[in-house]
Amino acid sequence: MDKKVIFFEVRGGTDKGPDGYRQDTMPMVNALKQRGQDAEVIFFDVTKKEEIFNYVKEQAIAYVSRINPGNLQHEKEYFDMLRELCKEGVIGMPHPDAMIGYGSKDALSKLSSTNLVPDDTFAYYTIEAFKAQFPTSLAITERVLKQNRGSTGEGIWRVKLVEPLAEGITTVPLDAEIKCTEAKDNHVEYWKLSDFMTFCEQYITGPNGMLIDMRFLPRITEGEIRLLMLRDKPVHVVHKKPADSEDAFSATLFSGAHYRYDAPEDWEELVHNFLTQLPLVTSLLGNYALPLIWTADFMLDTNEAGEDCYILGEMNCSCVGFTSELSLAHQVAKEILACIHENAEISA
């Protein structure tokens, strides 16, 4: 029996076209069928989890997840099902733990031993750790705090002291005034440090709660550089320049950023360094196969020698869309078939 590639979707949501599917899903299904590989879409429904699992286990050679887990009410059950399918030999694109590992903000702290992330990048999983370290981090330099949940800049704060510390002070006093700018829309709030840290406790509590604390990079005003990857192949680069205003540091369209699409060859130094680091990235994030479609976002910085360098800001692989470039579906189909072929050779 020729097995299928199953695309998982979920019904409803703002990312669907008039036919009820994500706009980039059917182009991939059709591109596979044009190449002789059968494929179909299944909508995940937790009430039919066992039935779906049994069908996919029997019928599928691979699955492609096109569900954003953050929008899924039964995320744990979905991930549990994907893990079981992978154990049964279905090729996961991606494996659920790769989805978590690459998509989680704490990937940054796990990669601080690479040249992609500054070594003064911290992950806080407890309120105690946050309150112990953050006043010291802030004393060194302006910081950015990123919550693990949320999207489009929500809960990402640029934090700056209103008045510089006296010389020799290595911890910011709790009553110090700070200026906080949220990436969602670049609005500014002024807080006492102690009150702001209490406000941030909401980001640490609850499932998957945590905060990333990394230094603010002033050259973010020159733009964020997003690499769109198909496994280990860079496909294109999106240059996202924040709005031209004093406090703007967010590179989201919603906040007024301007997007430009470049070829990977236009960013040769960045691409070469990232591809060189990929084997180390893979090993530090759990040794899972690289996701099928994923992104890595970078910001410009200046190293000690005064040269340009690129700092990783985040990665995303849960459900990266390409609705603005649907012709990519054919490249994705080729990559899916290459992955199936590689797995067949390994198991032969």
Give the per-residue pLDDT at 255: 47
pTM given for the model:
0.85
Residues 334-340 have a mean pLDDT of 96
Strand boundaries in 98-185, DSSP class E: 122-124, 143-147, 156-161, 177-182
Q: What is the DSSP letter of 207?
A: T
pLDDT digits (tens, 9 = 90+) for 94-138: 999 999 888 887 888 899 888 899 889 999 999 999 999 999 999
pLDDT at 256: 56
- Same domain flag for 255 and 309: yes
User: Does a cis peptide bond (omega within 30 degrees of 0) precede residue 94?
Assistant: yes
**261 shares a domain with 242:** yes
pLDDT tens per residue across span 223-282: 889 999 999 999 999 888 765 655 545 455 454 567 788 899 999 999 999 999 999 999
Report which residue type is found at 13: G
182 C-beta neighbours (distance < 10 Å), count: 19
Q: In whole numbers, what is the pLDDT of the chain averaged over residues?
A: 89
Same domain (yes/no): 191, 224: no
Give the closest residue to 124 by CA, choosing from 137, 142, 140, 139.
Answer: 137
pLDDT the model gives residue 188:
93
Of the chain, the percentage scoring pLDDT greater than 90 comes to 64
State the residue range of the domain holding 203.
118-216
CATH of the domain at 263: 3.30.470.20
pLDDT in tens, 158-205: 999 999 999 999 999 999 999 999 988 889 999 999 999 999 999 999
Residue 348 pLDDT: 61
Closest listed residue to residue 243, CA positions, set 169, 327, 153: 153
User: Which of the two residues, 244 and 7, has the higher pLDDT score?
Assistant: 7
DSSP annotation of 92 reads E
Domain count of the fold of the chain: 3
CATH number, position 167: 3.90.70
Mean pLDDT confidence for 294-320:
88
Check pLDDT > 80 for residue 338.
yes
Other Cβ atoms less than 10 A from the Cβ of 162: the count is: 10
Q: What is the CATH number of the domain that holds 59?
A: 3.40.50.2300
pLDDT-based confidence at residue 308 (cuts at 50, 70, 90): confident
- SS3 of the chain: helix, strand, coil, percent, to 5: 35, 25, 35
My answer on whether 225 and 200 are in the same domain is no
Asked if 213 and 121 count as a contact pair (C-beta separation under 8 A), the reply is yes
Where is average pLDDT lowest: 69-73, 136-140, 287-291?
69-73
